[in-house]
Amino acid sequence: MLNDRQKEAVETTEGPLLILAGAGAGKTKTVTHRILNLIRKGVVPRNILAITFTNKAAKEMRERVDKLLSEDMPINRPIYMGDRPFVSTFHALGVHIIKQQSHKIGLTRHFTIYDRSDSKRAIKDAVEGLGLDPKQFEPGIILNAISRQKGDGITNVAFREKAHDYFSTVVADVWDRYEATLKKEKSLDFDDLLLKAMLLLKNHADIREYYSSLWQYIHVDEYQDTNKVQYDIVKLLAEKNKNICVVGDIDQNIYSWRGATIHNILNFEKDYPMAKIILLEENYRSTQTILSAANNVIEKNKLRRDKTLFTKNGEGEKIDLTVTYTEADEAQAIVEQIMDIIALENGTRKTEPREIAILYRANFQSRALEEAFLKNEVPYQILGTRFFDRKEVKDVLSFIRASLNRESAGDMVRIINVPPRGIGKATMMKVLANQTATLGPALKTKVNAFLALLDRIKKVAETEVPSMLVKYVMRETGLEKALKDGTAEDQEKLENLRELVSVAAQYDALDVTVADEIGADSGTKNGTETESVKITAVEKLLENASLATDQDELEKDNNAVKLMTVHASKGLEFDYVFISGLEEDLFPHKRLNEGAVTQAEEEEERRLFYVAITRARKKVFLSWAQIRTIFGSQKVNTPSQFITDIGPGLIDESFEDKPVRRSFFINF
C-alpha cells in the first residue's frame, strides 16, 4: 500500500517533479510504482529512463520494476509484455551512450575502461615523460585534480586556458599526455564515461534529439549526490519533454569531496519553474527513537528544507552510548555487545551477524576492530576490497580485454609475463610499438606465442559463452596450473578464479540488443537512423566488472558483521548499527594541518552522522574512547558534539571499567 504522499507522487506523471524523501521513506517503492503507473497510462516502457548511483540500487530498482510489470495482469493481456524501461547507474548509462556513438569520438565498441591503478600508471608515465619527479608531483594527487575537473564537465583543452599558476600548468601538461595515452590505447577512464557522454549530448544535436525522444520520462534517484556533469546529462536529456522526476534528500548530501553539489537539488525549482514538490516523511525502516535522534541532529543545519521523519513502527529501544578508555577497549566492548546480540537462544541465533554493521569515519579505525573480532572469533567482513580488484581476477579479464583491443597497453603490460614467460621490459616496449620484427629469434618466438594466444582467446570470446571463455583463459594461459601447484595463498587465488567462472556464468544466457545510432554523415532523415546491434555477453561481463563497486561484495551470502566507513554505508540498512569513534576532530572530522572548519563542512559532517543513524532498523550503539592513538601519538579526546545534539531521554550511557595500573601523561 502507498501512503497519501506516495500516491500523489505516483499519480503526478507530467512535467517536472521533485520528491524530497527522508531516509527509509520508501522512495524506491514510490519510483517503481510511478513507472508502473506511466506504463498503465500507455507510455511505452522503452521511453522511460531511471538513473541511480550504485549497482546495488539499480539492481534493486530493476528487479522491483520487473516484478511489478510481470505481475500486473492488465498490462500483460492479451500477451505478455516483454519490453522494459532502461534502469541504470549514471556510469552504465554513459557506457551505453558511448558504445552506441563510439564512432563519433574515434573509439571502437571494445574500448577499455581504465580503473584507478591504470590511470595512476598512465599519469606517472606522463609525469616522467615531462622530466618531472613523481615523488614531487604525486600521480594520485594529479589524478584527483583531473578527476575533479572532469566531474565539473571541463576538458583538458578548457582547463589549459585557465591554468595560470605553476601547479595548474603542470597538471595541464600531464593531462594532455594522459589524454594522448587514452586515445592511443582506445580507452576511457571512469570520469570519461560521464564526461564523454555529456559532450556527445551537448555537441551533437542529432544525438541529443535521439535520446530525448527515446527517453521521454526520466527518473533520477539520489539527486542530491549529482555533480556538474551528471546534472548536465540529466538536463540535456530532459530539455525536450520536461518530464523529469528527481528523488533526493538534502539531509543525505555527503559527497561534496567528489564533486556532488547540494545546489542541484536546492535549485531544482529555478531550473524547472513549473516543478511540483512532494515531501515523503513517513519512515518504514527505523524506530521512533532512532528517528527522533536523527531529527535532533539534522535540524541544526541551515542549508536544508524542513522535514521531520516519523514512523508507526513504535518507540523502540534507547540508543546505547559506551565510553571506554582506549580504542582497543572500545573495539572489545563493541565485539562483546555483538556476541550478546548474536548469541544462541534455544538453539537458534537471536540475530544473524549479517544484520549488524559497525560504521566509522576513517578507514584506520578498522584495525583495532579487526583485532577484537579475530581475538573473539566473531565472523566479520570489511567493505572495501572489490572482487574485481583482486590481482588474479584482473589478470584473466585483462587477457580477454587485450584480445579484443590490442591497443590497450595497460592490459598488455599487465599480462605479457603472466605467468612468467621471459619477456623483459625492453621487449615489451617493442611489442607495444609494433617492432617485433627487430627482436632476436628466441624472443620473437616467445612474443609470437603470446600474440597467438591472444588470437585464440579472441576467437573463443567471439564464439563461446563467458563462463567457457574464462575457463579457457585459465587453462590456456597456464594460470590454473601455476596456482594449482602453488602455495596456500595460490589456492585461495584459484578459488577466486573459479568464483569468476560462476560470475561469468550469470551472463551465459544474456541476449541483449540495443538501438544503435548511425551518425549524421549517413545522409538519412534528420541525420540519424537506427539499427539493431548485438551486445555480446562478454562485453556485458567486462563492462560490469569495470563498473563494480565496494557494495557489490555484499551480494555474496557472507554471514558476517559488516565493517565500513559511513560513506560506504549510504543506501544500506541493518538491524543493529554501531557508530564508533564519536570524538571531536574524528567525527565530526577535522583534517590535519587545516584551518577552522567551515559551516559547509560542519553541516556535511552532521549530514554524515544523520546517514549513519538512519541505517539502523532496531537499535543504534554509539561509542567513543577517551584516548586514541593516531599517527603513533596518544590523543586525549572529548566526546563528539553530535552526542549532545541528541535530545534527553533517548540515550542510555555506560562507562567501561578503566584498566588497573594504566596511566597517561599530558605534556603542556
Could you tell me which residues come within 8 angstroms of residue 93 by beta carbon, excluding any fewer than 6 positions away? 49, 51, 86, 197, 233
In whole angstroms, what is the distance from residue 420 CA to residue 424 CA? Answer: 10
Confidence of residue 664 (pLDDT cuts 50, 70, 90): very low
Q: Is residue 543 annotated as a catalytic residue, yes or no?
A: no
Catalytic residue among 179, 191, 192, 222: 222
Q: For residue 63, what is the DSSP state?
A: H
Confidence of residue 67 (pLDDT cuts 50, 70, 90): very high
Residue identified by cell 616522467 is 128
- In the predicted model, what is the mean pLDDT of the chain? 88
In whole angstroms, what is the distance from residue 528 CA to residue 16 CA? Answer: 28
In whole angstroms, what is the distance from residue 84 CA to residue 71 CA? Answer: 13
**DSSP-assigned beta bridge partners for residue 539:** none
pTM of the model: 0.81
Question: Which residue in 431, 455, 519 sits closest to 107, CA to CA?
Answer: 519
Catalytic residue among 115, 221, 232, 249: 221
Q: For residue 387, what is the DSSP state?
A: G
SS3 337: helix
Mean per-residue pLDDT, 317-340: 95
Give me 521's grid cell. 554523415
Catalytic residue among 124, 186, 493, 615: 615
219 and 21 in contact (C-beta within 8 Å)? no
In whole angstroms, what is the distance from residue 363 CA to residue 281 CA? Answer: 32
Which uninterrupted H or E stretch holds 635?
strand 633-636
Dihedral class, residue 449 (left if φ above 0, else alpha if ψ from -120 to 50, else beta): alpha
**DSSP-assigned beta bridge partners for residue 655:** 323
Q: Is residue 221 annotated as a catalytic residue, yes or no?
A: yes
Q: Is residue 615 annotated as a catalytic residue, yes or no?
A: yes
pLDDT number for residue 550: 61
Give me 376's grid cell. 573473539
Residue type at 396 in one-letter notation: V
| CB burial of residue 511 (10 Å; 0-12, 13-18, 19+) | exposed
In whole angstroms, what is the distance from residue 430 CA to residue 425 CA? Answer: 9
Q: What is the pLDDT of residues 412-465, one digit of tens each?
A: 989 998 988 888 878 888 887 888 888 888 888 999 999 999 999 999 999 999
- Is pLDDT of 658 > 70? no
Mean per-residue pLDDT, 565-580: 95
Give me 203's grid cell. 555537441
Catalytic residue among 6, 52, 89, 252: 252
- Identity of the highest mean pLDDT range in 219-233, 247-261, 380-394, 512-526: 219-233
- Is pLDDT of 81 > 60? no
Distances (CA, A) of 442 to 319, 423, 429, 571: 71, 10, 17, 56
Confidence of residue 180 (pLDDT cuts 50, 70, 90): very high
